[in-house]
Amino acid sequence: MKSTQTEDRGQRTEDRERKTEDRRRKTDNRMRILCLLSFVMLFCSLPATAAPSGGPYGPVPQKYDLPKDANKIYYVSPDGNAGESGKTLARPTTLGTAIQRVVTGDAIVMRGGTYRTGGLQLNQGVTIQPYADEQPIVKGTKVADKWERQSDGLWKTSWTSLFPAKPADWWQPSSVKKTPLHRFNNDMVFVDGRFLQSAGSQGEVDANTYFIDYNDRTVFIGVDPTKRLVEITAFDCALTRTMGRCYGRNSDKKGPTIRGIVFTQYAYRALEFEGTEPEALSNESKYGKEVVGTTFENCTISFCSRVAGYLKGDKLTMRNCLVSDTSTEGIYVLSSSDVLLERNIFRRNNIENITGYFPAAVKIFNQSYRVTCRDNLITDHPNSNGIWYDVGNVDGRVIDNWFENVGSINTPFSKERFWPSDNGFFFEISKGAICTGNVFVNCDHGIFILNSCNVQIYNNTFVNSVACIGRTDRSAANDHFGWHPSAGPDVNDRDGHVFVNNLLTGDENFNRPLLAFSQTPSLCERIPKPQVKQLDYNAYVRRSKTESPLIFWSPATGSSRCQVPVASPEDLQKLHPEFSAHSRYFAGYDGPLFKSAEPGSYHNYQLLQTFVGLLQAFAGSKTAAPLPAEISKLLGQSKTDEPFVGAYPPVK
């Protein structure tokens, strides 16, 4: 009888799990279809050179053929038998067994369904993909189905796979008021697929939270688990691509190709790709070579308690992936060169609202060269940065991306201290970047260039998003991160930026500057040189008059804060005659501007020819500067194309 009850309970759990997965899959499919249709409608009228493209962004549903060039194919399924060879579709093996067997050039074909596994290790260049149009979901949780009701109305279960953790040693304890220490534990709990936040005690638990007693190894929830699927993390990583020896084989130094797989619900991270990380200023030939050529396509990585993936290795490509609902970082690219992130969706990073950690949906870190972020959708990050190039990066490329709702535009703007902040594109302590063809909508800061040099900012559209450039006296001497500042330009060399052909607009409720510069006051007399070498052919538009100046300018010798407010391009030209001779400001402008920019809709920020006519009336026939050849090539423009301001060519 007991055996029958156990089997019945197991069957009910499987049924709940299957129904939950069906609901989740249907919801995800509806969201993807709506997103795709909306962006197709948004951009269907754009010319071929338009940027951003409108997608499709994120995973594209498709039917996969079997890899024709694979040496061997191993078939796996959620209920596969580890004793099977996996060489036929009818007799699949397990995912873990297949990973132990594959060698360079082999492929793993996954049947649809849920694989609850983790701690997998791989060191061979292989392909992993779905079978046909089936959807494999690799999960780091196990089902919790043995609960006891407590007298206080909570429910309790015992759990052995726990992941307690502490904040990094550089985290500021003053942040504990906003971020209680229990938020740094890596455990996660889900009810019918819904993420629960952690609580600090049983008394704090409600329907949306959980509490873990690490001494007794018990988990408490506030919702009745009967007839519900409750999942708790059991693994802290799905797959590690190790650079060492495993399963009796040395690493072939080739990155895998992973297509169409969902990785979700992992404590800490889903993916870890190992490699050398320099601990001082180093030549790019010394790192990034342990795993080369990794490719991710049409994958989803979500609900990781810290990071979706730590990725190292040159020539990494991530295309049409969804990275969502992460914590400190979404994708973390470290010490890697010639990387391409293209047509991905990065959304909802820092879902635990951890403060003092400076999160980012995409972090590119520590001397990465030529990393290109092209035509991605970065959205819905109220407590996070978007794309952050941090420390020693060289020749970054941020092209044709759509940034929206990164940070909050409702928080007070600090004119003297731009950091901490949430930035769509953040380029810090690095050398050389091109930022062009991007749209920034309702971002705390659209861009922030800090302690860097030679960033070229051409043809971007900023809507309620301040463009910020700053430099401080931060150096490697006594820095809390040690050698990091030495990987970027010296304090005296943080200049050479270009800001040309950009469109900056603020609506009726936007009470911030459109462009802002800052410099540490102690540097004002020592470094009076402007941070930009070109600043012109920009259009500034405010829908209503505001108390905020148009521009905060720095350095400004003679000012106690090394910064002065500037009301117009003409006033800036009085300070620096070399700047803004062809820029124009429209204050309180209520005429035609964009093709469609209604709040709450999928807006289209193409300038109307009517407004361009006004620009021409003010500035003569030349309203925008011709682009350098490299910028034109990146934007897909020909030599005969007429230059314009903003991300898009104007339309009627």
Spans of all domains in the chain: 141-233, 260-634
pLDDT reading at 437 higher than 60: yes
| Predicted confidence band of residue 597 (pLDDT cuts 50, 70, 90) | low
Confirm if 292 and 160 have CB atoms less than 8 A apart: no
Across 409-474, the runs of DSSP E, i.e. the strands, are 423-428, 431-436, 439-441, 445-450, 453-458, 461-463, 466-471
What mean pLDDT comes out for the span 14-43? 48
Residue with tokens 């009745």: 224
Strand-pair partners of 199: none
Produce one character per residue of 311-331: b if its CB has 16 or more CB atoms within 10 Å, e if not: bbbbbbbbbbbbbbbbbbbbb
pLDDT reading at 601 higher than 50: no
pLDDT digits (tens, 9 = 90+) for 373-408: 999 999 999 999 999 999 999 999 999 999 999 999
Reduced to 3 states (helix: H, G, I; strand: E, B; else coil), residue 609 is: helix
**Global pTM value:** 0.92
Which pLDDT value is given to residue 7?
44
pLDDT digits (tens, 9 = 90+) for 184-208: 999 999 999 999 999 999 999 999 9
Which pLDDT value is given to residue 200?
97
Confirm if 627 and 635 have CB atoms less than 8 A apart: yes
What mean pLDDT comes out for the span 637-652? 90
Confirm if 27 and 35 have CB atoms less than 8 A apart: no
pLDDT digits (tens, 9 = 90+) for 169-190: 888 877 778 899 999 999 999 9
pLDDT digits (tens, 9 = 90+) for 501-555: 999 999 999 999 999 999 999 999 999 999 999 999 999 999 988 889 999 999 9
Which of 5-19, 48-62, 259-273 reaches the highest mean pLDDT? 259-273
Residue with tokens 């006033």: 571
Which pLDDT value is given to residue 38?
42
Percent with pLDDT over 90 in the chain: 78
pLDDT reading at 87 higher than 90: yes
Mean pLDDT of the chain: 91
Which pLDDT value is given to residue 19?
53
> Phi first, then psi: what are they for 61, rounded to 5°?
-60, 135
| Predicted confidence band of residue 40 (pLDDT cuts 50, 70, 90) | very low
pLDDT reading at 300 higher than 70: yes
| Predicted confidence band of residue 9 (pLDDT cuts 50, 70, 90) | very low
Listed residue (95, 217, 100) closest to 162, CA to CA: 217
Which pLDDT value is given to residue 17?
55
Which pLDDT value is given to residue 651?
86
Which pLDDT value is given to residue 574?
96
Distance CA 322, CA 346 (A): 6
Token pair for residue 11? Answer: 């069957």
| Predicted confidence band of residue 483 (pLDDT cuts 50, 70, 90) | confident
Which pLDDT value is given to residue 603?
63
The identity of residue 350, as a single letter, is: N
Distance CA 652, CA 80 (A): 59
| Predicted confidence band of residue 233 (pLDDT cuts 50, 70, 90) | very high
| Predicted confidence band of residue 265 (pLDDT cuts 50, 70, 90) | very high
What mean pLDDT comes out for the span 336-347? 98
Distance CA 430, CA 487 (A): 7
| Predicted confidence band of residue 35 (pLDDT cuts 50, 70, 90) | very low
Distance CA 307, CA 25 (A): 23
Percent with pLDDT over 70 in the chain: 90
Please state which of the ranges 146-155, 373-382, 409-418, 450-459 shows the lowest mean pLDDT.
409-418
Domain 141-233 listed as CATH 2.40.50.180: no
Element (H, E) at 534: strand 532-536
